[in-house]
Amino acid sequence: MGELFAAFGINWKLLVIQTVNFGLLLLILWKYLYTPVVKILDERRGKITESVAKAEAADRRLAEADMEGKTLVATAGKEAEVLVAAGRSRAESQASEILKNTQAKADALIADAAARAEEAKRQALLASEKEITRAAMLAAEKILKGRSA
């Protein structure tokens, strides 16, 4: 085998030393470079996985919050419609009550005015009756004075 190495110009002692050097270099790099780099990469992979999980959880929470917000808006809209309808019905009933009260007051005023007019008419008739009676008495007195004179 020494002849084969000599034919190719390879020094077998040098080859063994270079192989040992390569093995030592490989062990040193494995221990001080490859292992820490793999550890850092594993940590980074874990952080990335954790970040992705957190992002997915945040997306779920955002979707839930969005759904809850839409539900709240829909509920608030329905409640607002109910309140508006109740307000309208209350306003209509109050308007009808006010209209009834106003109509009753107007009827009372009309009845009072009619009673006053009737009283004024009766007073006027009484006054005119007295006036007619007095005029008749004066006429009768004149006629009697004219006959006796």
Q: What sign for the dihedral angle of Cα 68, 70, 71, 77?
A: positive
3-state helix, strand, coil in the chain (%, to 5): 95, 0, 5
* Per-residue model confidence (pLDDT) at position 58: 96
Mapped onto helix, strand or coil, the DSSP state of residue 10 is: coil
The pLDDT tens digits of the residues spanning 57-80 come to: 999 999 999 999 999 999 999 999
* Per-residue model confidence (pLDDT) at position 1: 66
The answer to whether 2 and 12 are in contact (CB under 8 A) is yes
* Per-residue model confidence (pLDDT) at position 6: 75
The pLDDT tens digits of the residues spanning 86-125 come to: 999 999 999 999 999 999 999 999 999 999 999 999 999 9
- Per-residue burial over 80-111, b if 16 or more Cβ lie within 10 Å, else e, is eeeeeeeeeeeeeeeeeeeeeeeeeeeeeeee
* Per-residue model confidence (pLDDT) at position 3: 78
* Per-residue model confidence (pLDDT) at position 143: 86
Which pLDDT band holds residue 141 (cuts at 50, 70, 90)? confident
Q: What global pTM score does this model have?
A: 0.44
Residues in the chain: 149
- CA distances 87 to 36, 72, 96, 97, 142, Å, are 74, 22, 14, 15, 80
The pLDDT tens digits of the residues spanning 1-52 come to: 677 777 778 887 888 999 999 999 999 999 999 999 999 999 999 999 999 9
CA distance linking residue 69 with residue 5, whole number of Å: 82
* Per-residue model confidence (pLDDT) at position 149: 62
